[in-house]
Chain A
Amino acid sequence: MSAVEIPAVTPVPTAYSRLTAAIVAHPAVRAELPVEFSSSFPVPTLRLGRPAWAAFAGPASRRRGQPLRLWAPDRWWALDQSGRTLVLYALVSAQPFSAELEPGPVEISPPAPDVASYDEDQRALAELMDSAAPAFFTQSGLGKPGRAALLEHLSVQLVGPALVWYRPLAPDFFAWLEA
Chain B
Amino acid sequence: MDATHEGLTGAEARGDLAGASPQALADVPCQLEVLPDGQESLVFGDVNQFADLNHQQGENIYGYQEDCGLVSVQDVLGQFGQSLTESDVVEHAITHGECVTDASGGPANDGGTSPQSQAQVLNDYGVPAHVETGESLEDLASQVEQGHGVIASVNAGYLWDDKTYVGNGHDNNHAVTVTGVARDPVTGAVQGFYINDSGDGQSGQFVSAATMEKAWLGTGGIAVVTDASHPEPAGPSGGGTAPSSPFPGPFAPQASPSNPFSYSYPSSNPLTSPVQPLAGPAGNPWAE
Contacts and interface: CB of A to CB of B under 8 A. Distances in A.
**A and B together in one complex:** yes
Interface of A: 1-9, 17, 20-21, 24-25, 30-42, 58-62, 64, 66-68, 71-72, 74, 103-105, 108-110, 112-115, 117-119, 122
Nearest to B203: A1
A3 B214 contact: no
A115 B162 contact: yes
Interface residues of B, number: 59
A60 B115 contact: no
Interface string B35-54: 11100000000000000000
Contacts of A37: 112, 173
Contacts, number: 172
Interface in B83-123: 99-100, 103-105, 108-109, 111-117
27 contacts: A3-B206, A3-B207, A4-B211, A5-B37, A6-B161, A6-B210, A7-B210, A20-B169, A24-B168, A24-B171, A25-B170, A30-B114, A30-B115, A34-B69, A34-B114, A35-B173, A36-B67, A36-B174, A37-B112, A38-B167, A59-B66, A59-B112, A64-B160, A64-B199, A68-B165, A103-B104, A118-B166
B35 A3 contact: yes
A105 B109 CA distance: 11
A62 B192 CA distance: 24
A3 B211 CA distance: 9
Contacts of A71: 103-105, 109
A54 to B, nearest CB: 13
A148 B222 CA distance: 37
Query: Secondary structure at chain A's binding surface: helix, strand, loop or mixed?
Result: loop
Nearest to B159: A4
A176 B86 CA distance: 48
Interface stretch (B25-33, B150-158, B254-262, B280-288): B150-158
B110 to A, nearest CB: 8
A39 B171 contact: yes
B264 interface: no
A59 B210 contact: no
A158 to B, nearest CB: 8
Contacts of A4: 159-161, 207-208, 211
A11 B81 CA distance: 44
A146 to B, nearest CB: 21
B59 interface: no
A6 B158 contact: yes
Contact of A5 (B117, B164, B175, B208): B208
A113 B163 CA distance: 8
A3 B205 CA distance: 8
B232 interface: no
Contacts of B249: none
